[in-house]
Each structure stands twice: as C-alpha cells, then as structure tokens.
A and B are shown apart, each in its own frame.
Chain A
Amino acid sequence: MTVAIDRATGKRRGDRTPRPGLGRRLKDGYQKHWYAYAMIAPVAVVIGVLVLYPLGYGLYLTLTDANSLNTGRTIGVNEIEATYKFVGLDNYADILWGPTAYDRFWSHFIWTIVWTAVCVGLHFFIGLGLALLLNQKLRGRTLYRLILVLPWAVPTFVTVFGWRFMLADAGIVNSALDWLHLPTPAWLEDTFWQRFSAIMVNTWCGVPFMMVSLLGGLQSIDNSLYEAAEMDGASAWQRFRYVTLPGLRSVSSTVVLLGIIWTFNQFAVIFLLFGNTAPEAQILVTWAYQLGFGQQPRDFAQSAAYGILLLAILIVFTSFYRRWLNRNEQQLAI
C-alpha cells in the first residue's frame, strides 16, 4: 500500500508526516469538515444527552450505595433529600468477590455466556440452513419465506405469551408429549427446563433475522463464481466451502456480532417468560433489572454496577472480535 495522501481517505494510521500545531489543525479541520460536523451534530447531541450523560450518572451511582430508600424523591409536597454516600469501588468488589458472589454474579455470568453461545449458534446454523434451502430454485419458496419470517413479524411480547400457553403444565406441549408417552417436564418451573425453554423460545424468535440476512448475503454472491467452480470440477461441498462461505463472510461476521450483542442483552424473552419466578434462569441483564426494579428496597447502585460490568464485557469482546477480523483481513460492515 502506498501512503494515503488525501486526508479525506480516513485511513491514516502509520502516516508519519509531521503534524502542524494543534490550533492550526483545529482550524484546518474546521474549514474542511465543518459541514460533516454540522451533519453529525444532531446525533452527537442525542448520544451526549440521552446516552453519555445517563451513562456517566450511572457510573457515578455504582460508586455509591444508592437505593430507593436513600435517593432523593418527592412524596406529595415533601422533598426528601438524597442521603446516599460515596463508597468507591465497594459495589464492584462485592459483586465480583464478596460473600455469595458466586450465587449472585458468577453463576449468572456462566449461564449468560452459555445462553449467548447456544442461542447465537442455533440462530446462525438454523438460519444458514434455511437460507441455503430458500436460495435454490424451489416451488413455493416465496411462500416458505413469508411463513418463516413470521416469528420476526409478531412483537416479542405477543409471541412469548403464546409460548407460555403452550409450555404451561397442562398446555399443548405437555399434552402432546403425554399422548406420545414421553416424560412431561415442568417447563416453566424446573431450573434445567426453564433454561431449556428460554433457549428454545429465543431461538424461535431469532432465527428469521439470521435467515433473512444470510439469504440477502447468498443472493449477492456472484453466480459466475459458482459456474467457474463447477467448470473446475468442484463438488457441492467444495462449492459451499470455497465459494459460499467466503462470500458470506462479511455479512455473517456482522450479523453474528449483532446477534451476540442482542442475545447477551436479551431482556424481553426471559423477563416475560418467567417474571420473577426463576432466579436460576435469569441472565445478567434481567438479574440486574430485578435488583434495580423487581425488589424492595430497590438497589440502584448494584443494578447499575451490573450494567457497567455487562457493558465492559461486551466492549472487551467486541474489541477482540474486531481485531480478530482484521487479522483475517476482514472488515466489519460498519
């Protein structure tokens, strides 16, 4: 690669020309790019005010012992002053290695990792399989696609209700299993089966997105590549391995990352499926919500500290993921 001369190309890492002074650079940058900055200003404001400010506030809360009893609030006409105090990193220490830290954090942490890995794995492989099937010439494939997108079309809170009817003790699933003389697990009560149901429902909800995205990716692969491969005598598996998979790479690395982020933070499925009844099946997000809003007194500080830990995990993960992609000469489509 030659050194990029045009500043506007953006990729200037390793560019060693001496830099002018700070004031000069600011002025130049302003003149050259002011319209770009004007255009991103609205989003910068929204992110600053609605995201970064609450984030900073949340970060501050994690360093205090704030809960619903000692924060400032208004009851009728009485203003009650906030009385919580600064406690430093105590919350984090307590969460990570305090007494019963395993029961409160690490067990949920392990389950969250398992949940994310299993769900995204299932989403991806089922989605890829269905996308491959739908990408062939096949009678009725438009109809199949429309039906298969259905779980995505219906709002999650509606589908989860549907599943709760089906998984209830004497619901249709257990009736069917009973009829087949198979064991009828307590889907919504027993810890193992709660986790199983949660994964099942989330897989059901998440496959369409993967399927449709990968289908889009498949359709964008140039057909002549397949023709060329076939001319060279490549078998179906070899065509899949050496044409399809590389062709899908940029789509799949993006949707897998999005899938991981969304699944890791998946709130609705678990919250609506179990409410407060399943302490063992809560992933970190729902657990943090329960600390902050599902109990009395509400533990704001710990809840926010969980949030910061979750965010940190995701950011670290994404950085490594990006570095790994770059090492394999791939770009994330962002």
Chain B
Amino acid sequence: MSTTTAPANAPAEQTGTAPAARPRKVRGRGERSRAASLASHGILTVASLIALFPVAWLVYLSLGPDKDDYLHPGGIWSKMTLDNYAFVLQHTNFFDWLKSSLIVSLGTTVIGVMVAATTGYAVSRMRFPGYRKLMWVLLVTQMFPIAVLIVPMYQILSELQLVDSYLGLVLVYCSTAVPYCAWLLKGYFDTIPFEIDEAGRVDGLSPFGTFFRLILPLARPGLAVAGFYSFITAFGEVAFASTFMLSDTKYTFAVGLQSFVSEHDAQRHLMAATAVLVAIPVSAFFYLVQKNLVTGLTAGGTKG
C-alpha cells in the first residue's frame, strides 16, 4: 500500500518533530483531522461517564454507614466503611438468596440450552414443511407480555403444587429462555460452514450423528452464549419471581433486594451494599463473554 494509507496515529506524532512536512501531508483513509478526533474522544468520554456514574454512585453509597447517607453523600468520604457488607453477609438471607438465584438460573440455563440446541440446528440446516411457521412461533413467544402468561401459570403451578418451588420458577423461565435460545443458536449454527455437515454425511453419519459429533463441539462458543443469555435473563427477572416465590428464604436476589424496603425500614445503605455484592460477579462474568454474546446475537443479522 502507499504511504498515505499508513496507520493513523503513529506517523502523525512522529512528524510532529518536523513541522515543515505537515501541511503537505495528505490525510489517508481512516484518518481524521485533530478536531474530529478530539470531538470523538469528547463525546465518548461524556457517554462513558454517563454509563459509569449510576453504578459508581451505588458503590460509593454502599460505603456509607447510615441509612440516610444517600441524601448527604458528602459526609461519606470521612467515614467510609465496609460494615454494610459485613452486615449483609452475616445478618440477612443473602446466602439463601444466592442459593435460590443460582439454582433457578443454572436450572434454566441447562434445560434451556439442552432443549434448544437441536431445534436451532434443525432450523439452521433443514428446510421442512412448517419451518417458517416455527420461526414465526419462536419470534411470537418473544412478544408474550408477562400479564398474559402470569395468571394462567400461577393457576397451573398452584394446581401442581409448584408455587414457591424452584422447579416451578425454572419451568416458567424456560418458556421464555427456550425459544430465544433456539433463535440465538440458529444464528450461530448458520455461521458454521455447511460443508462440514456434508462431509459428515458423506462419511456415513446420520443427521443426528453429524449434529452430536461434528457440529455441537464446534458450536461450543454459541452454546456458551445461549447459556449465558438464559442465565442473566433468569437471574434478573422480577415479575415472575416476586409472584411465585413466597417464602423469603427462597427469594431470588431480584425479589430479596426489594424486601429490604419493607422489612428493614428502607435501610438503603444495606440495599446498596447488597446490590453491589450481586452486581460484581454477574458483571465480571458478563465481561468475560460479552464479545461472544454480541457475535451470537447478531450472527443471523449480519449475514443478511
């Protein structure tokens, strides 16, 4: 390539030592004027601050020892403490909630991905009568407002004695997780070359054999994404959890956090500490997989 298309940043700085050369320099592709670059950085910095602030603020407030500290946050600096965290871990149902959240989320993840994988493969590779209808149904289940399912599900679960049980909540979450996982996995399977299937078939594998022996191992990242998606969806769900879980040792975090408001006389400093304790591991986990998450989400879309 010609020298004008050299990487943007490095040469521009080096030429700074020889200002005479500058005015004649032609801007290459992907290079911008200094002003445009500053503007980009400015906008991105402001956006980053906006993205960061509410979370950082929550962390800051969680260090204040009194329940009204959020009203005069200036005072927190001088008396910062981790007492709130110690209190939450020792004197609340934190670990019960952790247990329920994990049981319910992991249960949903495992069932959701297992059930959805074969369907994702079938709609990615096979064109069978009813294919379009199935895709349509998978999309429509995304649209179900909780209000239409929550009442009948409550009735059904109470008939099956599954209200206030982990299994009940897992089943409920599967109704949203499974169709979406199938959809996500379809997008991922689409990115695996069809030639692999053909090679497998030529070598005498059945469609199931191809799927289990060749495609599933290749699709591990996609499965991880679908699993993670089910996990965070189940983890953060509020409406079903607060309706179906009745005893406070079985609350998930989403419900347990709210119970602070009533049970502990709006002890906001403890709420903040709990929120931070919940958010840290989930966010860390999220960052580990976020790049794949995006690929998974848009795989179908970018192919066009």
Residues of chain A whose beta carbon lies under 8 Å from any beta carbon of chain B: 7-10, 29, 32-33, 35-40, 42-43, 46-47, 50-51, 53-55, 57-58, 61, 71, 73-74, 129-130, 133-134, 136-141, 144, 146-159, 161-163, 165-166, 168, 170-172, 204, 208-209, 212-213, 215-217, 220, 226-227, 230, 249-251, 254-255, 258, 261-262, 264-265, 267-268, 271-272, 284-285, 288-289, 292-293, 300, 303-304, 306-308, 310-311, 314-315, 318, 331, 333-334
Known: A50-B175, A133-B43, A155-B236. A138 touches B37 (CB 8 A): yes
- When the two chains form the complex, which single residue of A46, A213, A258 contacts B178, counting CB atoms closer than 8 Å? A46
Contact B301 A149 (CB under 8 A): no
Chain B residues, CB < 8 A from A285: 145-147
From B123, which residue of chain A is reached at the shortest CB distance?
A40
Is B29's CB within 8 Å of the partner chain A? yes
User: CB within 8 A of A43: which of B51, B119, B156?
Assistant: B119
B131 part of interface (Cβ distance < 8 Å): yes
Residue of A nearest to B61 (CB): A165
How many positions in chain B have a CB within 8 Å of any CB in the partner chain? 107
Q: Can you give 7 A-B contacts (C-beta < 8 A)?
A: A71-B155, A136-B32, A137-B31, A150-B51, A162-B58, A165-B268, A314-B145
Instruction: Kindly report which residue of chain A lies nearest to residue B149, judged by CB atoms.
Output: A54
Distance of A313 from chain B, by nearest CB (Å): 9
Contact yes or no, B179 A33, CB < 8 A: no
Whether the pair B301, A251 counts as a contact (CB closer than 8 A) is: yes
Which listed residue, A51, A55, A166, A307, touches B54 by the CB 8 Å rule?
A166
Query: What 0/1 pattern do residues 47 to 58 of B give for CB contact below 8 A with A?
Result: 110111011011
Is A43's CB under 8 angstroms from B178's CB? yes
A52 CB, nearest partner CB in chain B, Å: 9
Known: A57-B155, A204-B54, A310-B148. A35 touches B143 (CB 8 A): no
Q: Given that A46-B115, A212-B294, A310-B145 are contacting pairs, would A139 and B9 also be in contact in the complex, using a CB cutoff of 8 Å? A: yes
Partner of B301, one of A71, A157, A250: A250
At the interface, yes or no: B232 with Cβ under 8 Å from chain A?
Answer: yes
Q: Is A306 a contact partner of B301 (Cβ separation < 8 A)?
A: no
Known: A58-B148, A158-B58, A310-B148. A293 touches B243 (CB 8 A): yes
Indicate if the CB atoms of A39 and B301 lie closer than 8 Å: no
Q: Which of A54, A148, A172, A311 contacts B47 (CB 8 A)?
A: A148
A101–B30 Cα distance when bound, in Å, is: 57
Cβ–Cβ contact B54 & A162, under 8 A? yes
Of the stretches B77-85, B86-94, B277-285, the one at the interface is B277-285
Which residue of chain B has its CB nearest to the CB of A32?
A: B128
B residues near A33, Cβ cutoff 8 Å: 126, 128-129
Whether B147 and A304, one on each chain, are in contact in the complex, defined by CB atoms closer than 8 angstroms, is yes
User: Which chain B positions have C-beta within 8 A of A172?
Assistant: 57, 73
B150 to chain A, nearest CB (A): 6
Known: A35-B207, A58-B149, A148-B48. A333 touches B300 (CB 8 A): yes
In the A-B complex, the 3 residue pairs with the closest CB atoms: A307-B148, A288-B147, A10-B127
Q: A254: which B residues are within 8 A, CB to CB?
A: 298, 300-301
Closest beta carbon of chain A to B186's beta carbon, Å: 8
List of B residues within 8 angstroms of A227 by Cβ: 29
Q: Which residues of A have CB within 8 Å of B7?
A: 137
List the B residue with the shortest CB-CB distance to A272.
B238
User: With the chains together, A310 CA to B148 CA distance in Å?
Assistant: 8
| B256 CB → nearest A CB, Å | 10
**Residue with the greatest number of chain A CB neighbours at <10 A, chosen from B51, B121, B206, B254:** B51
Q: How far is the CA of A147 from the CA of B47 in the complex (A)?
A: 9
Residue of A nearest to B254 (CB): A157
Tell me if B40 and A136 are in contact (CB < 8 A).
Answer: yes
| B264 in the interface (beta carbon within 8 A) | no
Contact indicator B143/A216 (Cβ below 8 Å): no
Which residue of chain A has its CB nearest to the CB of B142?
A261
Q: How far is the CA of A38 from the CA of B211 in the complex (A)?
A: 13
A309 CB → nearest B CB, Å:
9
Q: Could you tell me if B294 and A54 are in contact, using CB atoms closer than 8 angstroms? A: no
Q: Collect the chain A residues with CB atoms within 8 Å of residue B40's CB.
A: 133, 136, 138
Q: Give, as a whole number of angstroms, the nearest-CB distance from A297 to chain B.
A: 13
The answer to whether B8 and A36 have CB atoms under 8 Å apart is no
**Does B267 make an interface contact (CB < 8 A)?**
no
B135 adjacent to A165 (CB under 8 Å): no
Q: Which residues of A contact B71 (CB under 8 A)?
A: 168, 170-171
Chain A residues with Cβ below 8 Å from B149 are 51, 54-55, 58, 307
Would you call B279 and A155 a contact (CB within 8 A)? Answer: yes
**Cα of A157 to Cα of B101 in the assembled complex, Å:** 13
**B194 contacts A by Cβ under 8 Å:** no
Nearest CB in chain A: distance from B164 CB, A? 13
Contacts of B121 in A (CB 8 A): 39
Report the minimal beta-carbon distance from A288 to chain B, rounded to whole angstroms: 3
**Distance in Å from the Cβ of A211 to the closest Cβ of chain B?**
9
Contacts of A249 in B (CB 8 A): 304
A154-B302 in contact given A55-B148, A130-B47 (Cβ < 8 Å): no
A162 contact set on B, CB distance < 8 A: 54-55, 57-58, 275
Taking the complex as formed, is B196 at the interface, i.e. its CB lies under 8 A from any CB of chain A? no
Shortest distance from the beta carbon of A21 to any chain B beta carbon, whole Å? 15
